[in-house]
Structure 1
Amino acid sequence: MSARETILSRIRDAQTLAPPVAQQVPRGYRTGRTLPDAERVELLVDRLVDYKAHVHRCDAATPAETITRVLGEVGARRVGVPGGLDEAWLTGFVGDVVVDSADVPAPELAELDAVVTASTVTCAETGTIFLDGSPDQGRRALTLVPDVHVVVVAVDSVEVGVPESLARLVPERPITLISGPSATSDIELERVEGVHGPRNLHVVLHDRPRL
Structure 2
Amino acid sequence: MNAREEILRRVDRAAPATGPDAVAASYARIDRDYVRRHHDGDVLDLFAERVADYRATVLRVRPADVAQVVAERLAAHPGPYGVPSDLPAAWTSATAAELVRDPPLASLDGLAGAVTGCAVAIAETGTIVLDHGVAQGRRALSLVPDRHLIVVLAGQVAPDVPEALARLDPARPLTLVSGPSATSDIELSRVEGVHGPRTLEVVLAE
Q: What is the aligned-residue identity percentage?
A: 46
Q: Does the CA-based 8 Å contact 1:29-1:163 persist in structure 2?
A: no
TM-score by length of 2: 0.83
Report the counterpart of residue 88 of structure 2 in structure 1. Answer: 86
Spell out structure 1 runs of 4+ moving beyond 6 A.
Answer: none
Q: 1:61 to 1:25 in 2, by over 3 A?
A: closer
Whole-Å separation in 1 of the counterparts to 2:117 and 2:30: 35
- Equivalent residues in 2 for 1:53-132 (5 A)? 53-73=56-76, 75-100=77-102, 104=104, 106-132=105-131
Report the counterpart of residue 20 of structure 1 in structure 2. Answer: none
TM-score by length of 1: 0.81
In structure 2, runs of 5+ residues without a counterpart are 1-7, 16-28
Q: Give the partner amino acid of 1:27.
A: R
Whole-Å separation in 1 of the counterparts to 2:39 and 2:115: 29
C-alpha RMSD of the superposition: 1.9
Q: Does the CA-based 8 Å contact 1:33-1:164 persist in structure 2?
A: no
Q: 1:121 to 1:25 in 2, by over 3 A?
A: closer
The one-character-per-residue Cα deviations of 1:71-115 (angstroms, maximum 9, x if unpaired) are 122x132010011100121111112110015xx1x2310111010
- Equivalent residues in 2 for 1:1-211 (5 A)? 26-32=31-37, 35-36=40-41, 39-73=42-76, 75-100=77-102, 104=104, 106-207=105-206
Q: Give the partner amino acid of 2:47.
A: L
In structure 1, runs of 5+ residues without a counterpart are 1-8, 17-23
The one-character-per-residue Cα deviations of 1:51-90 (angstroms, maximum 9, x if unpaired) are 00000010021110111111122x1320100111001211
Question: Paired residues, what number?
Answer: 183
Q: Does the CA-based 8 Å contact 2:181-2:192 persist in structure 1?
A: yes
TM-aligned CA deviation for residue 26 of structure 1: 4.1
